Structure 1
Amino acid sequence: MRVLHLLDHSAPRRSDYSRRAQALLEGLRKQGVQTVHLTGTGQADADGAGDGWHFYRTATADRRLPLIGRAAPDSRLGAAMSTAALALRLRQVARLTRPDLIHVHLPSSNAVAAWPVARLAQVPLVVDAERRGHALPAYPFPRAERWALGAAHAIATGTAQVRAVLRAEGLAAKAIAVVPQAPDLLPGRLAGVRMENLLGAPLLAYAGGLAPDDGLDLLLTALAQVRRRHPALRLLVAGGGTLELRFERLLAQPALRGHVVFAGPLSYRRAADVLPRADIAVFPALGHRPCLQPSRHLLNALAQGCAIVASDLACHSELLVHGHSGILFEAGSRAGLAKAILDLLAQPWRIDALGKAARDFMSTRRSWEVTAARYRSIYEMVLNNCDASR
């Protein structure tokens, strides 16, 4: 089985996206799937290797037109030209490599370029689909993207919530498989990173955004309440940027002053260093906006064996078993969050128990080998269905 993978343009670079993509490709190859790799528009580099992998690349489309000038990349004209350039490049690579199946990775808008190529070549199409957050730019042709998803032979999503949204959007008759995300970090915990005798100075960690719906405001107000019983409690905030200024007045309160540190955004390498040192990792998203999939920081914290306290959003409840691999509290409830933290601090032996259960779950149910096996099952189902229909 030879599968042509259409990836984001950043796949050959050193990034969190490339690590995830290459981990999946390596897992597929171990299971006997031949992989061919094409990146989307955004690079002018020639075809070649990236971190030991060969990538066919799509150069950035020339958006200069007579009388019109240069089209902006985020404009409808610029997007249309990039889609056309990607479709032509995909057609070339498909003719050269003759794949049995084309797999479009995120962003799912690349399916707009892939479906006509797959149709002309009579090759099945599998598409990874997501629902974008408000902070990300929307594809200017949503109807075309929805059409392309409907034309795919199968769709893969990260959570049951995304699948439900896609079905509500009119894809109920389409085969939609849930392929849960795997963490960036390998399951495990650095030996000796947590001090056994903390002398009543436990460490909380928060990794995520600083927007109101991310819940850091809620965590800070709950922290002020918890510190009445644990005055040495500290909080490490793995986030930063201009939104950090929103918290100046709150952090100036006597209950929080000197006990909260902003460490900047949490990259892949720093995550491996920071997360294992926390006693409790808190994910207090409020859920005012739809939260369809868990934070990658949450997946990494679980893989690193952190004790997790998270709001009871659907994407968290799907991942965590309350009292076994994490503690869930009512989203938006300061009292519920404070109680969850206080209960764990009052029973410190539960911290390691929760962390071990979380780490075991990620190593057995959310590894890249398991993810690759699920994708292989989708490939086989699609190919068998296409053979039966001929």
Structure 2
Amino acid sequence: MTRVLHILDHSLPAQSGYTFRTRAIMKAQQAMGWEVAGVTSLRHPLPGPDEHVVDGLTFFRTPGVANGRSPWRELGEVRALAERIGELAESWKPDILHAHSPVLTALAADRVAKRLSIPLLYEIRAFWEDAAVGNGTGTEGSLKYRLTRMLETRAVRRADAVAVICEGLRADLVRRGIDPAKIMVSPNGVDLELFGTPPARDGALAGDLGLDEADVIGFIGSFYDYEGLDDLIEAMPRLVALSPKVHLLLVGGGPMEAQWRAMAHASPVAERIHFVGRVPHQEVERYYSLIDILAYPRKAMRLTELVTPLKPLEAMAQRRLVAASDIGGHRELIQHGVTGTLFPPDDPAGLAKSLADLLADRAGWEERRTVARRYVEEQRNWFSNIRHYEPVYQRLLSGSGYDAYRVQDRQRTSQVKTA
């Protein structure tokens, strides 16, 4: 039985797109008969036991606290995580190390992989330097940006195989000189166990929010600047003028929440803009049930051009209409006029017109919902996508380094039994 140790920044029970993708991967691998566990870095945000079972998945924690200033703090994080991976390599005996970005996890895993000749797959969900720019904590082209990019490229070169979530990331690595044969694409997908049956409209919740007779545009996710919700809020007066029954429902939270709430409060249609804050994951479907069109107005920048988001796929699985900015990450998921609507990025007036046109032309709504749902079921279902890993794992397990590791492991086990 193949045993895979996933090396993670953080995990469940923390809730984020990162942890939900991890959950989907590990659950699907379990269903295939593989034995899986995860180990989290010092960045895991929640207290808990050193070995934590969540939703049937085992996560080992790295003890300690990240202290000091950058880059000493990050060096300490890598050292602590590498020590923990080494301990688990001896006790849990993984066949594969599967590190998930950011690059710190790959740097830690690489130390153990090379020392013990365990195959290492490094999976990139976004480049750390670009994520920092998108989150407002970094500047493109700065010294820190360039150094982080160099570390990322080095980690990719040293890994035995590399997985990326989309073609945009793959193309960028190829431009850096990485062998295309070394890179696999494991696209974002939907766990249909969680989003399998679209819910009926929650009339009680609609009444509580004042949305009984409304046409509802919605966003469910994290409030980062690159998500472009300021453009959506700015578009609302024009949209209300074109579609008088429209309301905007914003579910989630994040660094931009206070600023966007203030912007909405100052809007001439403030009464049409509803913030509900973060909601428990098990409650999210209730809010999906109220929304006619999920809008994703991501700004045009390097991060969003390269990286595909998960939320539009979840919306399609819920049989919600999807409208999104016309950027590279969205074009990999959405076929304009077929599975969704693409509108100009960074353009509130164009956004308002696209949404108003979609609200005015309802004849094709049902067909579009059906086509989008089928696309998720057939091409973006996690239990299908997970098979992308299998041939890569098998190729790595057939390597000479892995054979040497297993010989050493058998010798150590034999010595223990003899003693």
Counterparts of 2:346 and 2:290 in 1: how far apart (Å)? 26
1:4–1:102 contact (8 Å) kept in structure 2: yes
Q: Which SS does the other structure have where 2:338 is aligned?
A: coil
The alpha carbon displacement at 1:206 in A equals: 2.4
1:278-293 equivalence runs, <5 A: 278-291=291-304, 292-293=306-307
* Structure with higher helix content: 2
TM-score by length of 2: 0.79
1:1-390 equivalence runs, <5 A: 1-8=1-8, 10-11=10-11, 13-16=13-16, 17-41=18-42, 45-60=49-64, 71-72=67-68, 74-129=69-124, 130-132=126-128, 133=131, 134=133, 135=135, 142=148, 143-172=150-179, 175-183=182-190, 185-193=194-202, 201-208=214-221, 213-240=226-253, 243-246=257-260, 248=262, 251-254=265-268, 256-265=269-278, 268-291=281-304, 292-384=306-398
In structure 2, give the amino acid aligned to 1:177. Answer: M
The alpha carbon displacement at 1:186 in A equals: 1.7
2:216–2:247 contact (8 Å) kept in structure 1: yes
Counterparts of 1:28 and 1:37 in 2: how far apart (Å)? 12
% same residue: 26
Counterparts of 1:373 and 1:116 in 2: how far apart (Å)? 27
Counterparts of 2:270 and 2:25 in 1: how far apart (Å)? 44
The alpha carbon displacement at 1:149 in A equals: 1.9
Counterparts of 1:229 and 1:54 in 2: how far apart (Å)? 51
Q: For the structure 1 residues 83 and 174, does the alpha-carbon distance in structure 2 shift closer, same or farther, using more than 3 Å as the test?
A: farther
Counterparts of 2:15 and 2:394 in 1: how far apart (Å)? 30
Residue by residue over 1:223-262, the C-alpha shift from the partner in whole angstroms, topping out at 9 and shown as x without a partner, is 32232232121111224566434564665444x1311112
In structure 2, give the amino acid aligned to 1:204. Answer: I
In structure 2, give the amino acid aligned to 1:285. Answer: R
Counterparts of 1:239 and 1:26 in 2: how far apart (Å)? 25
In structure 2, give the amino acid aligned to 1:47. Answer: E
Counterparts of 1:319 and 1:85 in 2: how far apart (Å)? 38
Counterparts of 1:45 and 1:389 in 2: how far apart (Å)? 34
The 10-residue stretch of structure 1 (379-388 or 313-322) with the greater mean CA deviation from structure 2: 379-388
In structure 1, give the amino acid aligned to 2:198. Answer: R
The alpha carbon displacement at 1:345 in A equals: 1.8
1:282–1:309 contact (8 Å) kept in structure 2: yes
Where do 5+ consecutive residues of structure 2 fail to align?
A: 139-143, 405-419
The alpha carbon displacement at 1:296 in A equals: 3.2
The alpha carbon displacement at 1:202 in A equals: 1.0
The 10-residue stretch of structure 1 (238-247 or 184-193) with the greater mean CA deviation from structure 2: 238-247
Q: For the structure 1 residues 36 and 258, does the alpha-carbon distance in structure 2 shift closer, same or farther, using more than 3 Å as the test?
A: closer
Residue by residue over 1:32-67, the C-alpha shift from the partner in whole angstroms, topping out at 9 and shown as x without a partner, is 322243333356733353343333332126x7xxxx
The alpha carbon displacement at 1:126 in A equals: 0.3
Where do 5+ consecutive residues of structure 1 fail to align?
A: 64-70
Q: Which SS does the other structure have where 2:286 is aligned?
A: helix
Q: For the structure 1 residues 354 and 276, does the alpha-carbon distance in structure 2 shift closer, same or farther, using more than 3 Å as the test?
A: farther
TM-score by length of 1: 0.84
